[in-house]
Amino acid sequence: MGEAIGQSLPLAIGVAISPMPIVAVVLMLVTPRARTNGPAFLIGWLAGVGILGAILLVVADPAGASHHGAPATWVSWVELGLGLLLLAVAVRQWQHRPHAGDDVAAPKWMSALDTFTPARSLAVAAALAAVNPKNLLLIVAGAAAVAQTGASSGDQVVAWVVFTIVASIGVGAPVAIFFSMGDRAAHVLDELKTWMATNNVAIMAVVCLVIAAKLVGDGIAGLST
């Protein structure tokens, strides 16, 4: 179990560092329905990561992701492919980064956050967690990292629960700040939102580049054994 957690932890951190969802939940926490929409968004995020990963682990087990305690060849190819895709994402993000003086436009759907119901907040969060290309690649890679260790089904479940919790720290922290800091939360959350929105592209590019290097390295190492 320890190996499964250790192999997948960097990928979970990559999911956690998702600037736009963090900005979205912060904006949600200044709307009249903050006390219901904020927790609903967090639950949706947990569900998106957890359910997608569980499905992938169920698929990976009969496919033989582990061979005598080592990654199966197809897993190494998947890691290599995912790493190259993330590298392409990093390059694209960096090429489209805003320059000094440029206005950073938020997605249009964020302007409607004050009209969201808890159900819609949950659904949007689940989509951002599991359908967003960067997160989808990282969750697939995380599930592969857990499955390739050959751990028992119970240990894989525990490892994926840990992955899901760590992957949710980014959107969970603003919710925790909102409920724990009271009136002081507004200033802290506003600064967090501004910093994340301003540096969104750079953060995404760096995270994708670092995780891409790990996946490519793991894939090459697996194919060389």
Share of the chain above pLDDT 90, in %: 36
- Counting beta carbons within 10 angstroms of the beta carbon of residue 154, is it exposed (0 to 12), middle (13 to 18) or buried (19 or more)? exposed
User: 106 with 25: CB under 8 angstroms?
Assistant: no
Region 192-209: what's the mean pLDDT? Answer: 83
> Where exactly are the structural domains of the chain?
2-224
Region 116-143: what's the mean pLDDT? Answer: 92
Q: Sort residue 101 into left (φ over 0), alpha (ψ -120 to 50) or beta.
A: left
Q: Tens of pLDDT along 46-80?
A: 999 999 999 998 887 655 555 555 667 777 888 88
Burial 96-114 (b: 16+ CB within 10 A, else e): eeeeeeeeeeeeeebeebe
DSSP 8-state code for residue 31: S
Query: What average pLDDT is seen over the chain?
Result: 85
